Amino acid sequence: MKKKSVNKISSEVLAAFLDGNATAQESLEIMCEISEDASLRELLHISQLVDAELGIMPQVDCELLPMTAMAATCSEENLCSLECEKFVLRKMGIDFDEQQLYAEALRCGWQKKEGTALYNVGRHLEAKGLVVTRQFKARIDDIANALKKNESVIVALDGGELLNAGLSEIREDLIVGQIPDHTVVVTSYDATAQKICVFDPNSPDAEDTYPLAQFLDAWSDSKNYLLRVVSPDTCEYIPHPIDLSDVVLTEDLIELREAIAENAHEVWAQNRYAEGWRYGPQRDDDKLLHPDMMPYSQLPEGEKDYDREMAMKTIKLLKKLGYDLVKRKNNKQ
C-alpha cells in the first residue's frame, strides 16, 4: 500500500490538531502519519517552539533534567530500580536479603508507591559499600568504557520506546513530553553490529538485545542518565557535574547569591566551631586552627568567590531540575 503523503493532511486539519480542536478520527490520522513521517514530526516540534515563544504554551528558559522522574514500569509495585540493583549485587557476588532490601527502600523513602526517583536509583548499592557515580548527558562511549572496565551500568530510559511501542510513544513525546519511566542494566555493547544488550526487569528473558538506534531513542528521554557502579578498590573517580551553562538567572536571584554565600560560610564555621576549631593565621589540624574562622565580611575575596560560586550553582541547579524560586509578597496590612 502506497504511503500517504503529508499533503493529504490539510492545513486546516493540522491547525485544528495543534489547537486541540481536531476530531478523534482526524487526530488518529495525524498521529499515524507522524509515526511514519519525520518531516511532520519536525513541523509539529517547530510549532511547539513558536507557541512557547509567543507565550501560548509554557516556555522554559533552560533544558530541564528529569532528576525527580519515577522509574516505575516493573510489576504492580514499580520495582524496576530495585530489580536492577539486585542484578548488580548478584553480578558482584554480594549477598542480600530481598525482603530486607525492600523494607529498607520503604523505610528510607527510596521506594515510593509511584516508583523510585532517578536520584535515588543505586542507594542500595551505596549501602552495600559500592561506589555509584551518576551522570546526565552521557554518551554511548561512556557506556562502552564502563563495560570495558567491568563496571556495572544502569541507565534510565523510556520503557515503551525501548520496546519500540511506536505510535503511542510518539504521541506521548509530542503531547505529554519525554518521560523516563524505567531502568535497565546494560550488559554488553557491540559497536560493529550496532547492538546493545540489557537486563530488563520487565522481560521474562535473562537479557534482551536491541538495535542501538532504538536504545538511544529510549535513553534520550532521560537526558542520557547513567549510573556507573564499581567496588571501592577499583574506583577511578572522574567528576561529572551537571552542566548549568544554559541557566540564566534573573537579577533578583543574582542578588540573592551573596546572602546564600554568607549563610553557607556561617553554617560551615558553626560546624567547625562545635568541633573545637578556632581562628589561626595558618591552618593547623592538630591544634584545630583555621584562617577562615572569621566573619564572612573579613574573608579574602578568593574565599568569598568560592562560596558565591557554590551559591550560584545551587540556585541554577534548582532551576535546571524544574524548580522555581518565587518570592512571597509582603502582606503588611
Whether 260 contacts 311, CB under 8 Å? yes
> Residue 201 carries which side chain, given as an amino acid letter?
P
pTM of the model: 0.73
Eight-class DSSP state of 8: G
Nearest to 157 by CA among 210, 92, 109: 210
Dist CA 91 CA 147 (whole Å): 13
Eight-class DSSP state of 329: P
Number of other CB atoms surrounding residue 243 within 10 Å: 13
Q: H-helix or E-strand containing 274?
A: helix 251-274
Kindly write down the DSSP assignment for every residue of 138-199, as one continuous string: --HHHHHHHHHTT-EEEEEE-HHHHTT-THHHHHIIIII-----EEEEEEEEETTTTEEEEE
Tell me what pLDDT residue 234 has: 77
Q: Which one is the CATH code of 70-234: 3.90.70.10, 3.20.20.60, 3.40.190.10, 3.40.50.300?
A: 3.90.70.10
Eight-class DSSP state of 112: B
CATH 3.90.70.10 range(s) for the chain read 70-234
Residues of the chain by 3-state class (helix, strand, coil), percent to 5 = 45, 15, 40
- Per-residue CA distances from 93 to 96, 126, 283 (Å): 10, 15, 44
Q: How does pLDDT run across 42-81, given as a tens digit for each residue? A: 666 555 555 544 554 444 567 888 888 898 876 667 889 9
Q: Which one is the CATH code of 251-320: 2.60.40.10, 3.40.50.1170, 1.10.490.160, 2.60.200.30?
A: 1.10.490.160
Write phi, then psi, for 68 (nearest 5 degrees).
-95, 5
Number of other CB atoms surrounding residue 55 within 10 Å: 8
Please tell me whether residue 126 adopts helix, strand or coil conformation.
helix
Dist CA 71 CA 53 (whole Å): 32
Dist CA 157 CA 284 (whole Å): 49
Q: Which residues lie across from 185 on neighbouring strands?
A: 154, 199
The span from the first CA to the last CA of the chain, in angstroms, equals 72
Tell me what pLDDT residue 175 has: 47
> Residue 204 carries which side chain, given as an amino acid letter?
P
Q: What is the CA radius of gyration of the chain?
A: 25
Please tell me whether residue 207 adopts helix, strand or coil conformation.
coil
Dist CA 175 CA 167 (whole Å): 12
Listed in sequence order, the DSSP H helices in the chain are 11-18, 24-36, 38-54, 80-91, 98-108, 123-127, 140-148, 159-162, 167-171, 212-219, 251-274, 301-320
Low-confidence ranges of the chain (pLDDT < 70): 1-9, 11, 14-61, 74-76, 165-178, 330-333
Tell me what pLDDT residue 51 has: 53
- Per-residue CA distances from 224 to 125, 158, 197, 217 (Å): 20, 11, 17, 10
CATH 1.10.490.160 range(s) for the chain read 251-320
